[in-house]
């Protein structure tokens, strides 16, 4: 159904503000936001989308209040424990990009178990960006390439865009065609900055806990109506959608 749309990435923003507008603690918004994420994942799988990346926890989020960070880790652990079998049944392959080594041991274990359970699935490739920052990702890729040059495995003039991409956390996954950000903010916030070079950007005013399948479909329709030039003669997305 979505041959020309291979990868959608989503910055799920607005949980805290949504809760505060209702006189609730920020954690209330995170719980509602997790439920919305589940709906969007299920819908993406039903649409036969190949790749979906969700920005769940940035490297900067570690600087939030300790209680909020602890709750987010608890929520993530509960999600993996509860949903891993459901992901597997839906033929979804689960992965994580980010500095997983910085996560609590129990979360690392749950990530490993869910990856192993779903690694041979052939449906939606679902990636959570957790403890993720694009600048740090690029730094780590540069360090890996520098180490190869130092060891004589690579020459400086052999460093190319492809070799950099191959050393990013997203290696093997096509760059996002469409990046959606909710809550009215219009910036990438250190998310997939290398990969987003030619992505279409869609900024929704809707706070993430209010986001719906209809909103997601509207973003896809926006993408399908764009003219994709890539610096050349335009390529219009003439694909039909639902």
Which active-site residues does the annotation give? 13, 61
Indicate the length of the chain as a whole number.
242
CB atoms within 10 A of CB 159: 16
Nearest one of 11, 130, 136 to 72, comparing CA atoms: 130
CA distance 210 to 201: 20
Q: Roughly how many angstroms between the first and final C-alpha of the chain, as a whole number?
A: 8
CA distance 209 to 15: 6
Contact 168, 195 (CB under 8 A): yes
Strand segments, DSSP code E, in the chain are: 7-11, 51-58, 93-97, 125-132, 178-181, 200-203, 227-228, 235-236
Helix, strand, coil distribution of the chain in percent, nearest 5? 50, 15, 35
The token pair at 56 is: 């769940």
Contact 213, 236 (CB under 8 A): no
Which H/E stretch holds residue 117?
helix 105-118
């Amino acid at each position: 159904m979505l041959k020309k749309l291979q990868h959608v990435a989503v910055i799920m923003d607005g949980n805290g503000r949504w809760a505060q507008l209702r006189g609730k603690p920020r954690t209330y918004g995170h719980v509602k936001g997790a439920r919305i994420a589940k709906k969007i994942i299920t819908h993406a799988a039903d649409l036969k989308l190949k790749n979906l990346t969700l920005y769940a926890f940035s490297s900067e989020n570690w600087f939030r209040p300790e209680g909020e960070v602890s709750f987010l880790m608890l929520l993530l652990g509960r999600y993996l424990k509860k949903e891993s079998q459901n992901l597997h049944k839906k033929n979804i392959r689960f992965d994580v990009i980010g500095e997983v080594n910085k996560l609590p041991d129990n979360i690392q274990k749950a990530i490993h178990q869910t990856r192993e359970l779903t690694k041979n699935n052939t449906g939606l490739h679902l990636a959570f960006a957790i403890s993720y920052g694009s600048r740090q990702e690029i730094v780590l890729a540069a360090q890996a390439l520098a180490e190869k040059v130092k060891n004589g495995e690579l020459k400086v003039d052999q460093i190319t865009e492809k070799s950099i991409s191959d050393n990013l956390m997203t290696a093997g996954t096509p760059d996002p065609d469409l990046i959606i950000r909710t809550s009215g903010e219009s910036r990438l916030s250190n998310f997939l900055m290398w990969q987003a070079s030619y992505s279409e950007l869609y900024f929704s005013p809707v706070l993430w806990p209010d986001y719906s399948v209809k909103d997601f479909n509207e973003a896809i329709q926006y993408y399908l109506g764009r003219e994709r030039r890539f610096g050349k003669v335009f390529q219009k997305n003439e694909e039909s959608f639902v």
